[in-house]
Copies of this chain bind each other. A is one copy, B any other.
Amino acid sequence: MSVTAPRGFAASGMACGIKGDDRLDLALVAADPPRPVPAAGTFTTNRAAAAPVQLSRSHLAASAGRAGAVVLNSGCANAATGAPGLADAGATCAAAAAELGLAPEEVLVCSTGLIGNPLPIRPLLAGLRSLVAARGSEREDGDLAARAIMTTDTHDKQVVIDADGLVVGGMAKGAGMLAPNMATMLAVLTTDAVVSQAELAAALRAAVTTTFNELTVDGCTSTNDTVLVLASGAGRQVGRQQLTEALTAACGDLAFQLAEDAEGTTRVARIVVTGAASDADARRAARRTAESNLVKTSLYGADPYWGRIVSELGSSGAAFDIDKVSVRYGKVLACRDGVEMAHDRAAAAAELSGRVVEIVCDLGLGDGSASVLTCDLGHGYIDENMRTS
Contact pick for A80, options B49, B312, B340, CB 8 Å:
B340
Q: Is A386 an interface residue (CB 8 A)?
A: yes
Inter-subunit contact B294/A181 (CB<8 Å): yes
Nearest CB on B from A376, distance (A): 9
Assess whether A242 is interfacial by the CB under 8 Å rule: no
A73 to chain B, nearest CB (A): 16
The segment from A157-165, A193-201, A216-224 found at the interface with B is: A216-224
Q: Which residues of B contact A385 (CB under 8 A)?
A: 293-294, 297-298, 301
Q: What's the minimum C-beta distance from A130 to chain B, rounded to whole angstroms?
A: 30
A77 to chain B: closest residue by CB: B307
Asked if B45 contacts A114 (CB within 8 A), the reply is no
Could you name 9 residue pairs across A and B whose Cβ atoms are closer than 8 Å? A46-B315, A48-B314, A48-B338, A80-B338, A84-B339, A220-B293, A220-B315, A377-B382, A378-B386
CA distance A354 to B315 in the complex (A): 33
**Interface residues, chain A, with chain B CB atoms under 8 Å away:** 44-49, 77, 79-82, 84, 114-117, 179, 181, 183, 218-223, 291-294, 297-298, 300-301, 303, 305-308, 310-315, 320-323, 325, 335, 337-340, 377-379, 381-382, 385-389
CA distance A98 to B125 in the complex (A): 83
Contact A48 B315 (CB under 8 A): yes
Do the beta carbons of A80 and B322 come within 8 Å of each other?
A: yes
**A322 & B114 in contact (Cβ 8 Å cutoff):** no
B46-A115 in contact (CB<8A):
no
Q: A48-B313, A116-B335, A301-B387 are in contact. Are A293 and B218 (CB under 8 A)?
A: yes
Given contacts A220-B293, A220-B312, A300-B382, 13 further A-B contacts (CB under 8 A): A45-B315, A46-B315, A47-B321, A48-B338, A80-B338, A114-B307, A181-B294, A219-B292, A220-B311, A223-B314, A293-B293, A293-B381, A378-B386
State whether A311 and B48 are in contact (beta carbons under 8 Å apart), knowing that A381-B293, A382-B379 are contacts in the complex: yes
Once the chains are docked, how many angstroms separate the CA of A333 from the CA of B148?
34
B297 x A82 contact (CB < 8 A): no
